Amino acid sequence: MKYASILPLAALLALTACEVPSPQQRQLLNSMVGRDEVDVIRTFGVPTRAYEAQGHVFLAYIDSQTSYSPGSVGWGWGWGGGWGGAGWGGPGWGGWGGPGWGWGGGFPPSYYTSTCQTTFEVVASKVSGWTMRGDGC
């Protein structure tokens, strides 16, 4: 099938469309490799978390963003009700057609929090690498 040959290309295009991190971020993060631990702190500030294991220090910087969606205005539909057409006894104005029935509503407001964690690995006081993870990166 033709779809089977197009699917890998579509997946590759989707992945390249949202390049994370950006080229500028990648350049800054790569420039930290080989530098002193104190240079990371000077550049990015005091880390949110730090963890040490077997001579490796991990400095984590966590960025959380909260987005708000105000919801939507109500919408609806219904039937019945209103003024009728011709009345009894010939032409003229009709009477009230009775009550209408309907349903309507909107969408409630919502909040969404996204988080991105950038972690630097430090060995012997030198940055050896970095990682980014999370849905906000």
What domains can you pick out in the chain, each with its CATH number?
Answer: 22-65+110-136 (3.30.1450)
Look up residue 34 and give its two tokens.
């080989």
> Is 116 or 99 the better-scoring residue by pLDDT?
116
The whole-angstrom separation of Cα 137 and Cα 63 is 9
Provide mean pLDDT across the span 57-85.
Answer: 76
Please tell me whether residue 45 adopts helix, strand or coil conformation.
coil
State the virtual CA torsion across 16, 20, 26, 29 in degrees, nearest 10: -160
Query: pLDDT-derived band of residue 15, with 50, 70 and 90 as boundaries?
Result: very low
- Of the pLDDT bands very low, low, confident and very high (cuts 50, 70, 90), residue 111 is confident
Query: Could you give the angle at which helices 37-44 and 23-32 cross, rounded to 10 degrees?
Result: 140
pLDDT of the residue at 68: 85
SS3 93: coil
The answer to whether the beta carbons of residues 37 and 106 sit under 8 Å apart is no
Q: What is the mean pLDDT of residues 81-105?
A: 55
Pairing relationship of beta strands 126-133 and 110-123 according to DSSP bridges? antiparallel
d(CA 64, CA 114): 6
pTM over cut 0.85: no
